[in-house]
Structure 1
Amino acid sequence: MTDERMGDALVPALLRLPPGSGVVFRHYSFGARERRALFAQVRRIARARGLVLVIARPAHIGRGHGVHGTVKGHGLRTWPAHDRREAVAGARAGAALLFVSPVHPTRSHPSAPALGIARAAAIGQGLGVRLIALGGMTPQRFRAARALGFYGWAAIDALT
């Protein structure tokens, strides 16, 4: 997940991701020109490194492999799920991945109560959509998440 707070750490973080990893391009607060320019840079890195790139709102800045949330577009669809209602909406919208969050306390959303790993897993249970754990995740915490059916994990702060 890209975020404005990453600043100059964004490119080094992208360069450390293993091939096949995904990037959800956000940077919501940037102006249109600045956001398009950064997206073009991220897209070049993603192509060179074999990363999957999806765009969060608005999607008119360029093309990636897909879109995140309610953004109109083609390709892979990912979806945020903070509760069961959002998870069901994502499944109905054809999402391939649900980003369930916040699993653990996180600096990026300090006022959001953490779900805990068991409750987070229950949010997407039985929907036939792969779950990605987000919020306070580390490689060690992912081991417990994987045991409960999570397909992968995502981060913002853990990458910087």
Structure 2
Amino acid sequence: MARCYSGFVPNRHPPLPDIWLITDARNDEALERTLARLPRGSGLVYRHYHLAPAARRARFVALARAARRFGHRVFLSGPAREARGWGADGAYGAPARLARGPACPRLVTVHSLRELGRAHRARADAILLSPVFPTRSHPGGATLGRVHFHLLAARSAVPVIALGGMTVHRARTLPSRKWAAIQGLAR
């Protein structure tokens, strides 16, 4: 499995998974069960910002081991240098955090056309376009909706992963095969 390493060539890696599980405090208890239920070769974006540094690293090691048993790819929320140091398959975050550092697969969060341009300049290998639908994490917050999602996705030079209020049912209503969820995959 390709991991962050010094000889990595941007945008020349195995295709990215279609389904991504994103971690945080809300879904922590169900992560191992959810990883076991995901289709083989899915993706895990490890965030866990709520943990102290040593505990965050230890939880990453445990979840990465569990994810790789099912052939899942593991991306770390953080700079590419940190992702490489932790043995992740790639890095995830905002364009400013990922614009520098060693060559490494990068997933970049995008909410607007301006951020899409920043993601392209940050050498994103794919974008997480968000929020498509209303989310529990931002109740009452603005969403892209299907039409705006499609308009922004059409402008992307890299694969688009739908994020925000995603569930299996909602994913089926979008023509994009790639999607991610925090709570929409955990049970």
Question: Normalization by structure 2: what TM-score?
Answer: 0.77
Which residue, out of 112, 120, 130, partners 1:91?
120
Letter matched to residue 26 of structure 2: R
The aligned amino acid for 1:63 is: G
Q: CA deviation at 1:152?
A: 0.6
Whether 1:75 aligns to 2:104 is yes
Shift in Å at residue 93 of structure 1? 1.5
Shift of 1:49: 0.9
Specify which structure has the bigger relative contact order, considering alpha-carbon pairs within 8 angstroms and separated by 6 or more residues. Answer: 2
- 1:114-153 correspondence runs (5 A): 114-146=143-175, 150-153=176-179
Secondary structure of the 1:68 match is strand
Give how far 1:111 is off: 4.2
Q: Give the secondary structure class of the aligned counterpart of 2:154.
A: coil
Candidates 127, 137, 142, aligned match of 1:113: 142
Q: Which sections of structure 1, spanning at least 5 residues, go unmatched?
A: none
AA aligned opposite 1:92: R
1:47 CA displacement: 1.7
Over aligned residues, Cα RMSD in angstroms? Answer: 1.7
The share of aligned pairs that are identical, in percent, is 38
Q: Secondary structure of the equivalent of 1:159?
A: coil
Unaligned stretches of 5+ in structure 2?
1-21
Give 1:12 shift: 1.0
TM normalised by structure 1 equals: 0.89
What's the counterpart of residue 22 of structure 1? 43
Post-superposition offset of 1:73: 4.6
User: Cα–Cα, structure 1 residues 77 and 93, in superposed 2: closer, same or farther, change >3 Å?
Assistant: same
**Partner residue of 1:64 out of 70, 77, 88:** 88
